Amino acid sequence: MSSLGHQLATSVLVVGAGGAGLRAAIEVAEAGIAVIAVAKRAADDVHHTVPTSGCSAEAPFATGPVETWERHAADTLRAGHSLADPRTAQVVARYAAQGFHDVGRYGMRLDRQGCGGAARRRFADHTYRRAAFTALEVRRALRERAEQLAVPVLPNVYVTRLLVDDGTVFGAYGFDLVDGSRYLVHADSVILATGGHTRLWRRTSSRRGENTGDTFRLAVEAGARLRDPELVQFHPFGLIRPENAAGMPVSEAARGVGGVLLNNLGERFMTRYDAERMELCSRDKIALASYTEIKEGRGTRAGGVWLDLSHLPRETVLTRLPRVHQALLDLQMLDVTHDPIEVAPTAQYSMGGVWVRPEDHSSDVDGLFVVGEAASGLHGADRLEENSLIEPLVYGRIAGRAAAEYSAGLTSQQRSPAAVRAAEADVNRLAVADGDQDVRALQRSVRHLMTERAGVVRDEAGLTAGLAELDAIEDRMAYVGVHIDIGGFQDLAYAFDLKSAVLAARATLLCALERRETRGCHNRSDHPDVDPDLDVNLVWSPATGVRREPVAPVPTHIAQLMHDVPADACLLR
């Protein structure tokens, strides 16, 4: 079965059309280099959560205390528990303001304070107020700028394989999710912006078909390595109901304005875990605290805790949290000014990802760049809140420029017909698979084992059992059945999602086994303390297994800032 309906050629191919992918594509187009972006979904089908995420930037947009980009870098590294790459943190912090200025040029609108600066809100682990609630505006501005530049964004394209010849990428192969026609895209360079692997857990902020580990599989099969896949951030405020919104996170702003967490006994339980910062401590600590309350029987019947805003003035909630208020009315007919929200930890963010160089986010594969949640390096063992939106703006620009320059500098491009045939055969084989194993059932099995064996808290026995269960699932994958029907080729996509999930799960379990300590978001009940010998990144590939890689040293002046909290900081307030 083969229907090669689309054979395209471009200088730069961007896989993924979220914020990171669009920012990279814009940079390529502005450099005058040909670019095509492909996406699984329609361009306007974006994943919204109950919050509008914020982002961080330094002085040019700040109000109040004057700070520096070095302070932002120090906060990022402190939050990362010695595993974040200092070079990457410095790049993001140094160019955060430029990232804001860029989307400002594209037409992003900001809430303004009286002095004209962007309105800033407080978030945990930030020395100063840096968060500006602009995620929807950023996405709108990026989409409109891409349209102005006539960047082709091809929707409903599922990329199954990156095409590589002798360690150099030369394009990608995939199929149309609606009609099954094949796509062969020749490109001088490729930018991966396809997210992480949080869909591998039962309760997750990711929608079906998103963050299934596509990035991990595509990159690894091309010859790249993964770094720290075991480091996954669980957002403490995932909704429990309704079913179609389960896992959707409630805005971090809810605790920033004074929301409190209660167990089913009505106790404000954070007093047991961080009596000084309470609900303003780091996400990993709150997620662990909530998990512990639930596990020890002080949770709700549905397995959650309560996020309570009802003690706040109604006007505060309506003006500071309008989207949270409206979303809960729409989803649950719940008025958060009167009643608490039932929440539980939800897998939200992959802090590990593809191994990349801090200078330009290039990978082990020549011509392959990785941006956004797909990449690794910035976050370490815990993500500084609101850094996830500024990172794509910074590295989308840098990687886009690097890919454009790489492509422009090529005098010839090597291509391999054998690689194309192998990619085509891979799709053909799965498209006609008629075994008795249901793809969706196997996906659920992966999600179950990752939740039970590699969730908020892990141990040696559970991780080892998880690997054995994963082996059994992989054996059953040889007998899957794929059913193409009038609804399109979604079942074929699920089959590839399953392949991605199994690879990503294996990398995660193996690295979680190797990291015999508790650090940041990684909690080992059998190793409850930090191990200084594990101040290293864990790098994995199928060929080498798990290897330890030293973290680059922190510059002295940044290290000093990590330990020196100024008197006017809002860090602990």
3-state SS class at 40: coil
Residues sharing a CB contact under 8 Å with residue 74, sequence separation 6 or more, in sequence order: 127, 558, 559, 561, 562
Which position has the token pair 């190793």? 527
3-state SS class at 547: strand
Using alpha carbons, list the distances in angstroms from residue 111 to 5, 72, 116, 121, 292. 46, 21, 9, 11, 38
3-state SS class at 190: strand
CA 254, 259, 265, 269 torsion-angle sign? positive
CA 253, 259, 262, 267 torsion-angle sign? positive
DSSP 380: T
Q: Which tokens sit at 173?
A: 């192969």
Residue 531 CB neighbour total at 10 angstroms:
14
DSSP 432: T
Give dist(CA 290, CA 310) in Å, integer: 19
Give dist(CA 324, CA 335) in Å, integer: 10
Is 374:504 a contact under the CB 8 Å cutoff? no
Residues in the chain: 573
Using alpha carbons, list the distances in angstroms from residue 287 to 30, 197, 543. 42, 18, 34
225 carries an active-site annotation: no
Using alpha carbons, list the distances in angstroms from residue 130 to 63, 126, 134, 147, 309. 9, 7, 12, 30, 23
DSSP 278: G
Pick the catalytic residue from 23, 283, 383, 506: 283
Closest by CA position to 353, among listed 511, 194, 226, 520 = 226
Is the link from the previous residue into 242 a cis peptide, with omega within 30 of 0? yes
- Give the chain's end-to-end CA distance (angstroms, integer): 62
Give dist(CA 287, CA 261) in Å, integer: 11
Give dist(CA 349, CA 164) in Å, integer: 28
Residue 335 CB burial class (10 angstroms; 0-12, 13-18, ≥19) = middle
Which position has the token pair 């790249």? 224
Give dist(CA 536, CA 84) in Å, integer: 9
**Catalytic residue IDs:** 283
